[in-house]
Amino acid sequence: MNTLRNSFKKLLQYPSAIAGLLVVFVLVAVAVYTVIAIPYSEAVRMWRGGEDVWYQNPRFAPPAWINYFSSKKYSESFAVNTSDGLIEKKVIPGDNGLSTVEMTYAFDFSYDFFPQEMLFYFTSTFDEKQPFVSIELLTPDDRKIRIANFAIGNEFTYRFSQDEKLRAKLRAEDVIPALFTAPDGDTPLKGKYQLLITGTTFEPASTMDAEFVLHGQVFGLAGTDHERRDLTLPLLWGVPVALAFGLIASMGTSILTMIIAAIGAWYAGWVDELIQRITEVNLVLPLLAILIMIGTFYSRSIWVILGATILLNIFTGAIKGYRAIFLQVKESMYIEAARAYGASSSRIIFLYLIPRMIPLLIPSLVQSIPAFVFLEASLAVIGLGDPVLPTWGKIIQDAQSNGALYKGYYYWVLEPAVLLMITGLGFAVLGFALDRVFNPKLRET
Amino acid sequence: MSVTAHVPSEKLVIKKPASNSSFLRVMRYVSVRLLTLFITVVIGIYLTIVIANMGGFVDQIIKGEIRDRITQSFLANPSVKQMDPEVRKNLIQEKIALEEKRQGLDTPIAIRNARFLTNALQLNLGRAINITSDSGSKQVRLILLERLPATLLLMGTSQLFLFFSSIFFALSLSRNYGNFWDKFVIALSPTSAVPPWFYGIFLILIFAAAFKVLPFGGMVDSPPPLNTFDYAVSVLQHLILPGLSLVLSSFFISVYNYRTFFLIYSSEDYVDMAKAKGLPSRDIERAYILRPTLPTIITNFSLLIIGLWTGALFTETVFLWPGLGRTLFQAIGQYDIPIIVGSTIIFAYLLALTVFLLDFIYVLVDPRVKIGQ
């Protein structure tokens, strides 16, 4: 206990170790928060739910905070509807069951880039006669543009940019820029825009509601991908996945390697010989190819890959290193004493041999974490990521296969890449410092 | 594939009084060693074959493909339309059986695995299932030979540069350790936790996407330039980013490891003695530091050379480099077992041969080492 506290004190003398510890601490906190705030099933639903989950988001939108670094502002996305009261709705009853529904929504537009798209989602209830809707847009320079008139069914979606009639009326190539510019200008006209929706229902019990969605150029904290998915989710869920994979894999391999090396060194003879031979066979096996084959042929589940990774990484060169040290330790006096009082082999292995190696184990364990974190990401990048879980590697793969770097969607690659980098470096730096604390023989300068 | 991977050879034995004649001893050692290495290779290859076939699972896929293809070709053929359905069905069955026999799918899997193993061990690599070489051949040997130059170019330049430059820098750092550059390298050595393809993405982002000075990937412009000089320039341009990412990702850890390694040897008493005698530092390095570290350096170098064979799977995939690593990845994606096994057997043989030869090289460079008991 005392030695542990001393080691910890020594560790804190290294600024890099403090930085590493901080990174690890933040990552663990984020991982715990994520798993509690967005449970697994919810995460999977939000990641693979389909257009219903993502329709409010723009496509290929960088994160909203780039506006702080840019002198030209990108329009932000928003969604409002009548049930949350942001679209004001007034029902004026008329004769013969006829009633007029007036809905208005005003918003400030003070950006330098046009939005991607604007949409209306209408829902209504009626028995026979469909309600009728007309939409108008009031621009900051007090022009009133008639957008469209149409009858709506139970559910109706109106996309501004897809309306050929509107495009013809505006005499423009694209609807959205034409709506947001003054007649003689070509930059967005800033100011207050007002949407006026006038609906008519023809039955007493008939009702109607509307939702207005503006797809801006930027979205949320992390931006969106090609399927309009919010990248915050995979970035957050990537943390527990990467940590779990890295930690379990490195702990599994180093502890099993150590136990097997101890068994080999203790029993010697054919057990030792067998372990040596297995290690040599394992050297010949193409590790990556086998992992990829398992991913392609068997299962892409992250747990299967994790198991295979551990199995293939047990019998590596490290086993020889540990074995050499165990052979030395085996000859020490206290082992002889234990043998003399009749301790069993398993007792000696687990209580006398292995604890001696913990100072060697901890740094190498921490140092091997990044390799496993990146292994998972690497497999995901070549298309063998877990099919269900959202992870960092999968974001990079999506970005790569959609030519993100080529088309200039840098945020899409950079966000997961930077997180991977921070995670990898955090553990690597900590591992280096631990190595110096626990193995002072190797300490230089 | 770290450059400083250490393979301790437990057969490396310090001199003991010889009981037999040295010729017999060496012969006995050589035969035992060759036998164990051969058995190791056999087991390794057999396991690869079994995994690559997934216990017959891949056979099912291939059989399904054959059935599908032949049925489709029959359905598309107007001349068999008038045929009696029963006759046509039999004809299809017959054709499927023939095709399965041609690919050897009618023999039990254990026998096929054994046959596959013996063929592979004789370097009889056979024919690929789906992948074809650019010249149109399905011979595994030709496909691998065709991709080899690309991998050798990429891995060879980057790994050799890495090896020699890190030894050079490590020597100069160990000479004056504790100075700014030494601390710089130590501080940056954790960056090697990041794999090469990852640096590749950043390099692509900076040099290809943002500055547009270097290509995104591939090995040569498309269409390839006709004259040789332009072709070489184009290949060099494509080589810079993948090569740089391979070098970047292991440079600092490699320098750091060699430097630590050299430092341990420079604190030996005989080095102090040599310094006291006033020998020039060049001579001290050559005769007292490099000489005893030679076995390790040779081990690393030979592992580096055989590492060239496997290529850099992820880096080649990210940069669309047409090398062996990417071919292996494509082969796995297309269930092309002969290519997977072919690439593995060559690596296994190279590794076994290197391990075997290293024992003798140790004897040559280190007079303290003797072969066998």
pLDDT (0 to 100) of residue B3: 39
Measure B64 CA to nearest chain A CA, in Å. Answer: 15
Nearest Cβ partner for B51 among A293, A408, A424? A293
- Tokens coding A445: 């300068």
* φ and ψ at residue B370, rounded to 5 degrees: -130, 150
Spatial distance between the Cα atoms of A18 and A430, rounded to a whole number of angstroms: 8
Of residues A280, A408, A444, nearest to B209 (C-beta): A408
Is A420 near chain B, with CB under 8 Å? yes
Q: Are residues A276 and A414 in the same domain?
A: yes
Looking at residue A307, its pLDDT comes to 93
Half-sphere exposure of B306 (CA within 13 A, CB side): 24
Tell me which of A183, A215, A247 is where a domain ends: A215
**How many Å separate Cα A60 from the centre of its chain?**
15
Burial (Cβ within 10 Å: 0-12, 13-18, ≥19) of residue A269: exposed
Cβ distance A289 to B43 less than 8 Å, yes or no, reads no
Any idea where the domains of chain B sit in the sequence?
A: 27-121, 146-215+242-365
Cβ atoms of B5 and B298 closer than 8 Å? no
Q: How far is B315 from chain A (nearest CA, A)?
A: 10
Model confidence band, residue B372 (pLDDT cutoffs 50, 70, 90): low
Q: Which residue does chain B place closest to A14, by CA atoms? A: B187
**Band of residue B10 on the pLDDT scale cut at 50, 70, 90:** very low
Cβ distance A284 to B41 less than 8 Å, yes or no, reads yes
pTM for the structure as a whole: 0.84
Closest in B6, B44, B314 to A378, CB measured: B314
Distance from the Cα of B285 to chain A's closest Cα (Å) equals 19
Q: Rounded to whole angstroms, how far apart are CA atoms A258 and B287?
A: 38
Q: Same structural domain for residues A191 and A244?
A: no
- Distance of residue A305 Cα from the nearest chain B Cα, in angstroms: 14
- State how far residue B331 is from chain A, nearest Cα, in angstroms: 10
What's the pLDDT score for residue B4? 41
For B288-320, the pLDDT digits (tens) are 888 888 888 888 888 888 888 777 888 998 899
Contact of A274 with chain B, judged by CB distance below 8 Å, is answered with: no
Q: Which of A292, A293, A434 to mutate to test the interface with B (most CBs of B within 10 A)?
A: A293
CA distance linking residue B60 with residue B66, whole number of Å: 10
CA nearest A377 in B: which residue? B198
B43 neighbourhood in chain A, CB within 8 Å: 281, 284
Cβ contact, residue pair B5, A424, below 8 Å: no
Q: What are phi and psi of A100, to 5 degrees?
A: -105, 135
Distance CA B65, CA B58 (A): 11
CA B210 to chain centre: 33
Classify residue A58: in a domain, yes or no.
no
Q: Mutate which of A272, A275, A278, A281 to disrupt the B interface (most B C-beta within 10 Å)?
A: A281
Residues in chain A: 445
Cβ distance B52 to A292 less than 8 Å, yes or no, reads: no
Shared-domain flag, residues A400 and A257: yes
Between chain A and chain B, the number of residue pairs with CB atoms below 8 A apart is 142
Q: Is the pLDDT of residue B15 over 60?
A: no
Whether A320 contacts chain B with CB within 8 A: yes
Burial (CB count within 10 angstroms: exposed 0-12, middle 13-18, buried 19+), residue A309? buried
Q: Residue B27, CB half-sphere, CA atoms under 13 Å: how many? A: 5
Given an 8 Å threshold on Cβ–Cβ distance, is A289 in contact with B183? no
My answer on whether A410 and A271 are in the same domain is yes
Residue A259 lies in a domain: yes
Residues B70 and B75: their CA atoms lie apart, in Å, by 9
Residues of chain B with pLDDT > 90, as a percent, come to 14
Using CA coordinates, name the residue in chain A closest to B349.
A284
Judged by CB atoms closer than 8 Å, whether chains meet at B48 and A286 is answered as yes
Instruction: Provide the pLDDT confidence category of residue B50 given band limits of 50, 70 and 90.
Output: confident
Residue pair B352/B130 in contact by the 8 Å Cβ criterion:
no
Nearest-CA distance from A56 to chain B in Å? 29
pLDDT for the residue B8: 47
Say whether both A81 and A40 belong to one domain: no
Q: Determine the residue of chain B that is closest to A416 in CA distance.
A: B198
Instruction: Select the residue of A283, A293, A428 nearest B193 (Cβ to Cβ).
Output: A428
Last residue of a domain, one of A215, A242, A267: A215
Angle, CA of B20, B25 and B26, to the nearest 5°? 150
What are the pLDDT tens digits along chain A (445 aa)?
567 788 788 888 888 889 999 999 999 999 999 999 999 888 888 888 777 778 888 888 888 888 888 888 888 888 888 888 788 888 888 887 788 888 888 888 888 888 888 988 988 888 888 888 999 898 888 888 888 888 888 888 888 888 888 888 888 888 888 888 888 777 888 888 988 889 888 888 888 888 888 888 888 888 888 888 888 999 999 999 999 999 999 999 999 999 999 999 999 889 998 998 898 888 888 888 888 888 887 888 889 999 999 999 999 888 888 888 888 888 888 888 998 998 898 999 988 888 888 888 888 899 899 999 999 999 888 888 888 888 899 999 888 888 888 888 889 989 999 999 999 999 999 988 888 888 765 544 3
Look up the CATH number of the domain holding residue A159.
2.60.120
pLDDT, chain B, mean: 83
Pairing between strand A144-151 and A132-138? antiparallel
Chain A interface mutation, best of B183, B201, B203, highest count of A Cβ atoms under 10 Å: B201
Task: Examine residue A57 and state whether it is found in any structural domain, yes or no.
Answer: no
Q: Are residues A131 and A202 in the same domain?
A: yes
pLDDT tens profile B361-370 = 888 887 777 7
Closest by CA position to A62, among listed A429, A407, A304:
A407
| Nearest to A313, CA basis, from A281, A287, A293, A275 | A287
Based on the fold, state whether residues A316 and A346 are members of the same structural domain. Answer: yes
C-beta of residue B276 within 8 angstroms of C-beta of residue B234 = no
Q: Is residue A341 part of a domain?
A: yes
Residue A190 three-state SS: coil
> Is A211 found in the same domain as A235?
no
Rounded-to-integer distance, Cα A432 and Cα B343, Å: 36
User: Does a structural domain hold residue A294?
Assistant: yes
Distances, alpha carbon B86 to alpha carbons A19, B92, B98, in Å: 76, 10, 18
Question: A155 Cβ partners below 8 Å, 6+ apart?
Answer: A121, A122, A123
| pLDDT grade for B238, boundaries at 50, 70 and 90 | very high
Nearest chain B residue to A16 by CA distance is: B187
Q: Which of B10, B58, B329 sits opposite A382 (nearest CB)?
A: B329
Contacts of A417 in chain B (CB under 8 A): 198, 201-202
Q: Are residues A398 and A314 in the same domain?
A: yes
d(CA A233, CA A391): 9
Residues of B in contact with A317 (CB under 8 A): 5-8
| Residue in B44, B51, B191 closest to A281 by CB | B44
Report how many domains make up chain A: 2
Q: How far apart are CA B44 and CA A281, in angstroms?
A: 5
Fold of the domain built from segment(s) B146-215+242-365? MetI-like fold (1.10.3720)
Q: Which amino acid is at A30?
A: V
| Facing A286 at nearest CB: one of B8, B182, B344 | B344
Residue A444 lies in a domain: no
Question: Residues A211, A252: one domain?
Answer: no
Interface of A with B in 220-259 (CB under 8 A): none
CA A382 – CA B319 distance, rounded (Å): 12
> What is the gyration radius of the CA atoms in chain A, in angstroms?
31
So what's the pLDDT on residue B169?
A: 92
* Structural domain ending residue among the three candidates A156, A190, A215: A215
Could A285 and B44 be called an inter-chain contact, meaning their C-beta atoms sit closer than 8 Å? yes
Q: Looking at the structure, tell me whether residues A155 and A194 fall in a common domain.
A: yes
pLDDT in tens, B76-110: 887 777 778 888 888 888 888 888 888 777 788 88
Tokens of B269: 């008493």
- Which among B151, B127, B150 is positioned nearest to B140, based on CA atoms? B127
Whether B264 shows a pLDDT value over 60: the answer reads: yes
For A163, the domain range is 72-215
A249 plus A326 within the same structural domain: yes
